[in-house]
Amino acid sequence: MSPASDPARFHRILVALDATTESRELLELAADLASCFESQLTGLYVEDEDMMSFANLPIGREISSAGAGLLDLTRQQLETHFRNHAAQVRRVLEVIAGAREISHSFDVRHGRPEREIQDAAKKTDLLAIGPRLGAILRPRGEDIRRRIPDSPADALLLVSATPQPLAAGPVIVAFGGRRLDERSLDVAKRIAIKLGRKLAVGLIPYERGHPDMKQHLETLLRASEGETPAIEIFQTRDSGDFFSRLATRRPGLVVVADDILEQCDWYWGRPGFPILILRNGEHGTDD
Amino acid sequence: MKLKSLSAKDLVVPYNSRNLGFKTTDDLEDLDCVLGQDRALEAIRFGTEIASQGFNLFLLGEEGTGRNEVVRDFLQEKARSMEVPEDWVYVHNFEVSHKPRAIRMPPGRAKILTTAMEAFIEDVRAAVPDLLEGEETQSRLQALQEKFQEKSEAAFEELRQEAEAKQIALIRTPMGFGFAPIIGDEVAKPEIFEKLPRAEQKRYESDIQELETKLQAIIKRIPTIDKERREAIRDFLSETTALAVGAAIEPVIGQFRDLPEVLEHLNRTRDDMVRNFHSIHLAEKKSESTEVSEEGRPSSFEIGGFDRYKVNPIVAHDGNSGAPVIFEDNPTFSNLMGRVEHISRLGTLITDFSLIKAGSLHRANGGFIIIDVLKLLRQPFSWDSLKRALKGQCVTIESVGQMLGLISTISLEPEPIPLNVKVVLTGSRWLYYLLSAYDPEFPDLFKVEADFDRDMERNGAAESLFPRMIATQVRKDGLKPFDASAVALVMQRAIRMAADREKISVHQRSISNLLHEAAFYAGQDGVPRVSRKHVSQAIEKKEARSDRLREKVYEMITRDIVLLSTEGHAVGQVNGLSIIELGGFAFGRPTRITARVRLGAGKVIDIEREVELGGPIHSKGVMILSGFLAARYAVDHPLSLAATIVFEQSYGGVEGDSASSAELYALLSALSDLPLRQDLAVTGSVNQFGEVQVIGGVNEKIEGFFDICKRRGLTGTQGVLIPATNKHHLMLRDEVVDAVKAGTFHIYPISTIDEGITLLTGVGAGKRDARGRYRKGTVNEKVEARMMAFADARRAFGSKDTEKENGGNAKGRGS
């Protein structure tokens, strides 16, 4: 089945990796999704050009985060660092993908991470990215916020390390009764079934949404084939209220349509949970 | 004067069942005292009453005297009227986790506390997580996390913005952070930076140095902020938890307000739980999710989860059962002193206070403990540990490794528990005497000895109480009632067991076994009562079960494989009697004893001793014979005979001196050349004056010879010579008594060798007349004449040698 005929399926998942904890958690989740949808998983490690420039500058010095001491950083040290990290990330990818028996590959690029990831994402259905995209420090989440609109693919975001194992929480989907929400519901349901989690549906009353969302939701759930996960429905006032309620529900994954982001700009700076953002319209080229 | 044989009435203590005064044991009341153990019971009474240290008891006596049952019954009776001792629990030590605390409390309260704490934990487990995971708590927690995250990020963000304003980027580096000039949206490349005016480069350098200083200050502040965050979260969680925990523990506190130690522990429990609830709860959840076995215990003494708040009731009484009486049948070190068990988790052995197990000393604390001393001594470390506990008056649970100082790793060290116990050791006399002699601590710790006797005086009181003892035993063991004839035979058997007609055995095990076996045969007969027939059957069958060896021996004699005459006469040959005892079954074995004499240097050779088959007492008996001969015959002449004495066809060891009179008869016969009667057998030891002395096993010996004679056919003249002093020990079986009554078998009490030799030879022994000579033709005269002849011959030999020697010399000189 092609993506066009099965909009809830991801054929190719690209996960941007570094050697951080968040990156590993992101990889775990991306691998779970790849396992759900039988996707090809590609890990991408970018040797950051900005960091290399910094190492080459005559005034470039490191300040240790462990003791605040000043350290010299040479080009040679940095190259070794890149090599080691790439090798480490590759090993982790192989272990995680191997454990799930999913098809996978690994790629190393040199350049500016945001640019390289954008470029690689053109050939993918789902881009999984962590909280930071490059060496330059920006406010948490700003990297993602700034670059999501440019990405052609759906996106799996992990803004910060989750406070509990991902597998423990329910899959929560924002549902407003619109057509694009139906895709969100379909994807969330599949994931919940595959990962054996509860599905929680947060109803958001959109102006253009269905007049009787709950009934519409129940109709959709009844109409869908196959098994049904345990479902909990909760009403929210709006998209802001939806995000506010996430903290107490400790989701394993949140599934939303991309337009919700415009309404909840504030959310990006918060410690959060993995969010699967589904693009409104065409997603991922299939060449 | 003709020696009179004993009459049948001398051979057995007759009990006429009609004179016993009851028909069956059902007519008799239970015996409320212990028969024949007055001395021991008085000692037990004393030992259990006295409270001073070291007055523990040692019950000594033979196995089977019923001392264990007696002392247990006595102690249980006494314990019922004593106070129930205190309960003890072990609890987690919140200050030093590897040293669990011991808390005492009134009897019955340990179980209540245990149950109350379990209920409390369940309450808290259910209520507090709901509270913590509630929307409100989670929102506040989230807000708190964000507050501190923002606090640390804000400092970075402020610095980042300051840098950004100066066209400088804050960047992440492999080890931390750094500052770099930024051109456009990128870090300036070195070639571009070098093309910048010198002043611009300097400005960047200066600004970066200033920013670096600020960044260093921020980084140094982060651990403090992190600590504040942890404390704030902990305080918040504690506040949230405190209310629920306080409400849950309040009922428990209310129940134990009168016990300060428990109250203190409950307060500590509450504080610890409030402080650590969240982390324990998370650890438990994690343990569940990762499916770790062993109930999620941690790998240290810092007992995990909520188990640390439980109570381990190491000694718990039900409150109204009196003092404990513990019978420790397997006194291993850990069974006695308690132990700390371990569980295996991922290849590591772990433990905590809940795995402390009480030893029998803990359970007996405040009461009594009975231990078989042989079992105790066989167990490594048990004896020393018991002594240490008694001396220190406390019981400490430790491993053998700890005790010996072989383990250097930290192990659980439960707080010692004060010990107030009366230890009752039971064992044989020789163990008691050995311990007294070789263990210097023993007399200080076991000051009361209670000596259990095997027999008691057979007086009127004993004879009236003995049937009641049987009746009590019969009822206690649920046996069929015994009629008076059966009881009479049991009593006769008990006298036989005592091997003394003036005593009666109170050996519980033997009597009990006889009762059970007799009851079994009565059951086979399908009769409601046990009668004499069944007791007799029990005795015979028991002997029959054990008599394989006896049968073999007797068979060899009757088939003349082992030579033994039971009629006729022979010189230097007599029938001796020995006892063979194997596995508690004894029987008499008639043995031919022979003696040969010739001229010699005055030596009586005991062949058994020469070949090391004779024991020291046997050798002593034979040496006495030399003394007797030398002192009685030809006293003015040197003893000039060489005699050999042997137990014919005896291939095992010979011990004891009970055959020494028989050996002497054989020797006298050989010397006098007078034949001895072979239809008689002899037993009895002899002294240097020729007096026949008492021996053991007289009944078995008589019956042994009787059995052989009977198999060959009783001639009417056969019998046994026994020491006259053994008359009191005769308690022969009916068959022998009947033969004596019928005059077909005879038992002669012998006081002196002269009496015996007269009977055996049919010739008078003879006494010295006024001139110091024996009357002609008497045994003694013939013996002395032979001895004199030997002496003369020896002298003659001596003279010939001298002449030969002198003659030789003269000849030599003449040449």
- Residue numbers in A near B138 (CB within 8 A): 247-248, 250
Contact A54 B139 (CB under 8 A): no
Distance CA A191, CA B393 (A): 68
Helix, strand, coil tally for chain B in percent (to 5) = 50, 20, 30
Tokens (6 digits) for B230: 């942890």
Which of B452, B471, B493 marks a domain boundary? B452
The answer to whether the CB of B219 falls within 8 A of the CB of B176 is yes
Distance CA B724, CA B357 (A): 63
Provide the whole-model pTM. Answer: 0.63
Residue B436 is assigned to a structural domain of this protein:
yes
Instruction: Give the pLDDT confidence score for residue B296 in this predicted structure.
Output: 41
What percentage of residues in chain B have a pLDDT greater than 90? 51
From B723, B577, B696, B699, select the one nearest B647 (Cα to Cα).
B577
> What's the burial of A266, exposed, middle or buried (CB within 10 Å: 0-12/13-18/19+)?
exposed
- Residue numbers in A near B201 (CB within 8 A): 59
Structural Rg of chain B based on CA atoms: 47
| Paired residues of A17 in beta bridges | A45
On the question of pLDDT at B236 being above 90, the answer is: no
Tokens (6 digits) for B745: 């078998």
Residue B621 is assigned to a structural domain of this protein:
yes
Whether residues B373 and B427 share a domain: the answer is: yes
Catalytic member of B78, B503, B701, B710 = B701
* Residue of chain A whose alpha carbon sits nearest to that of B171: A136
Instruction: Give the pLDDT confidence score for residue B400 in this predicted structure.
Output: 78
According to DSSP H, which parts of A11-74 are helical? 21-37, 49-56
- Residue numbers in A near B156 (CB within 8 A): 137
Distance CA A166, CA A163 (A): 9
Shortest distance, CA A168 to any CA of chain B (angstroms)? 8
On the question of pLDDT at B494 being above 50, the answer is: yes
* Residue of chain A whose alpha carbon sits nearest to that of B149: A271
Residue B28 is assigned to a structural domain of this protein:
yes
Q: ipTM exceeding 0.90?
A: no
B71: CATH:
3.40.50.300
Of B138, B187, B193, the CB nearest to A50: B187
Tokens (6 digits) for B197: 């005016």
Distance CA A246, CA B14 (A): 103
The answer to whether the CB of B422 falls within 8 A of the CB of B368 is yes
Q: How many CB pairs under 8 A join A and B?
A: 119
**For B776, phi and psi rounded to 5 degrees?**
-60, 135
Task: Tell me the average pLDDT across B135-152.
Answer: 78
Instruction: Give the pLDDT confidence score for residue A140 in this predicted structure.
Output: 65
Number of structural domains (chain B) is 3
For residue B324, CA distances in Å to B46, B366, B421, B598 come to 19, 7, 10, 75
Of B182, B205, B215, the CB nearest to A63: B215
Query: What is the Cα B483 distance to its own chain's centre?
Result: 38
From B575, B513, B560, select the one nearest B538 (Cα to Cα).
B513
* Residue of chain A whose alpha carbon sits nearest to that of B155: A139
Catalytic member of B658, B660, B669, B672 = B658
Contact A64 B190 (CB under 8 A): no
Whether residues B443 and B515 share a domain: the answer is: no
Distance CA B340, CA B321 (A): 28
What is the residue whose two structure tokens read 């005790």?
B403
Distance CA A158, CA B525 (A): 93
> Amino acid letter at B276?
N
On the question of pLDDT at B298 being above 60, the answer is: no
Distance CA B783, CA B754 (A): 12
Residue B63 is assigned to a structural domain of this protein:
yes
Whether residues B512 and B382 share a domain: the answer is: no
Confidence of residue B295 (pLDDT cuts 50, 70, 90): very low
| Paired residues of B188 in beta bridges | none
Contact B175 A65 (CB under 8 A): yes
Tokens (6 digits) for B591: 């043995």
Tokens (6 digits) for A201: 């549906």
Residue B256 is assigned to a structural domain of this protein:
no
Whether residues B53 and B27 share a domain: the answer is: no
Shortest distance, CA A86 to any CA of chain B (angstroms)? 13
Task: Tell me the average pLDDT across B638-648.
Answer: 86
**For B390, phi and psi rounded to 5 degrees?**
-70, -40
Question: How crowded is residue B355: how many other Cβ atoms within 10 Å of its Cβ?
Answer: 18
On the question of pLDDT at B251 being above 60, the answer is: yes
> Amino acid letter at A69?
G
Distance CA B476, CA B338 (A): 34
B755: CATH:
3.30.230.10
Distance CA B465, CA B481 (A): 17
For residue B717, CA distances in Å to B677, B679, B710, B738 come to 10, 7, 12, 15
Whether residues B517 and B662 share a domain: the answer is: no
Shortest distance, CA B220 to any CA of chain A (angstroms)? 7
What percentage of residues in chain B have a pLDDT greater than 70? 94
The domains of chain A, with CATH numbers, are 12-48+81-157 (3.40.50.620), 166-270 (3.40.50.620)
Whether residues B460 and B339 share a domain: the answer is: no
Shortest distance, CA B214 to any CA of chain A (angstroms)? 10
Contact A63 B172 (CB under 8 A): no
Shortest distance, CA B186 to any CA of chain A (angstroms)? 7
Reduced to 3 states, what is the DSSP secondary structure of residue B713? coil
Question: Strand A40-48 relative to strand A104-111: parallel, antiparallel, unpaired?
Answer: parallel
Positions in chain A whose pLDDT score sits under 50: 1-4, 163-166, 282-287
Q: What DSSP string runs through B723-776?
A: EGGGGGG----HHHHHHHHTTSSEEEEE-BHHHHHHHHHSS----B-TTS-BPT
Which of B546, B565, B597 marks a domain boundary? B546
Tokens (6 digits) for B766: 């003879």
Distance CA A70, CA B209 (A): 11
Size of chain A in residues? 287
Instruction: Give the pLDDT confidence score for residue A3 in this predicted structure.
Output: 43
B538: CATH:
1.10.8.60
From B123, B121, B112, select the one nearest B92 (Cα to Cα).
B121
| Paired residues of B675 in beta bridges | B571
Whether residues B608 and B743 share a domain: the answer is: yes
- Write the CB contacts of B275 (distance below 8 Å, at least 6 apart in sequence): B234, B238
Instruction: Give the pLDDT confidence score for residue B199 in this predicted structure.
Output: 92
Shortest distance, CA B148 to any CA of chain A (angstroms)? 11
From B220, B211, B213, select the one nearest B169 (Cα to Cα).
B211
User: Best residue in A18, A22, A59, A73 to probe B by mutation, most B CBs within 10 Å?
Assistant: A59
- Residue numbers in B near A168 (CB within 8 A): 289
Instruction: Give the pLDDT confidence score for residue B804 in this predicted structure.
Output: 61
Question: Strand A231-235 relative to strand A253-257: parallel, antiparallel, unpaired?
Answer: unpaired
Instruction: Give the pLDDT confidence score for residue B791 in this predicted structure.
Output: 87
Q: B146-160, B618-632, B715-729: which has the highest mean pLDDT?
A: B715-729
Instruction: Give the pLDDT confidence score for residue A2 in this predicted structure.
Output: 39
Helix A239-249 and helix B135-165, axial crossing angle in degrees, nearest 10: 110
Residue B195 is assigned to a structural domain of this protein:
no
Whether residues B542 and B431 share a domain: the answer is: no
Whether residues B515 and B400 share a domain: the answer is: no
Whether residues B27 and B42 share a domain: the answer is: no
Q: Which domain holds residue B331?
A: 37-83+322-452
Please indicate whether residue B701 is annotated as part of the active site: yes
Contact B139 A73 (CB under 8 A): no
Question: Strand B101-105 relative to strand B503-505: parallel, antiparallel, unpaired?
Answer: unpaired
Whether residues B703 and B583 share a domain: the answer is: yes
Confidence of residue B762 (pLDDT cuts 50, 70, 90): very high
Task: Tell me the average pLDDT across B71-89.
Answer: 91
* Residue of chain B whose alpha carbon sits nearest to that of A68: B216
Residue B478 is assigned to a structural domain of this protein:
yes
Instruction: Give the pLDDT confidence score for residue B112 in this predicted structure.
Output: 94
Confidence of residue B485 (pLDDT cuts 50, 70, 90): very high
Whether residues B492 and B582 share a domain: the answer is: no
On the question of pLDDT at B401 being above 60, the answer is: yes
Query: What is the Cα B164 distance to its own chain's centre?
Result: 89
The answer to whether the CB of A42 falls within 8 A of the CB of B193 is no
Reduced to 3 states, what is the DSSP secondary structure of residue B440? coil
Distance CA B83, CA B85 (A): 6
Question: Strand A275-278 relative to strand A154-157: parallel, antiparallel, unpaired?
Answer: antiparallel
Instruction: Give the pLDDT confidence score for residue A281 in this predicted structure.
Output: 59
Residue B707 is assigned to a structural domain of this protein:
yes
Helix (H) / strand (E) containing B644: strand B641-647
Contact A65 B176 (CB under 8 A): yes
Question: How crowded is residue A258: how many other Cβ atoms within 10 Å of its Cβ?
Answer: 19
On the question of pLDDT at B802 being above 70, the answer is: no
The answer to whether the CB of B671 falls within 8 A of the CB of B598 is no
Q: In what order do the strands lie in the sheet with B719-723?
A: B603-606, B641-647, B585-599, B573-582, B680-682, B719-723, B746-750
On the question of pLDDT at B189 being above 50, the answer is: yes
User: Best residue in A20, A48, A52, A54 to probe B by mutation, most B CBs within 10 Å?
Assistant: A54
Contact A137 B177 (CB under 8 A): yes
Please indicate whether residue B658 is annotated as part of the active site: yes
Of A73, A112, A136, the CB nearest to B169: A136
Which of B434, B452, B470 marks a domain boundary? B452
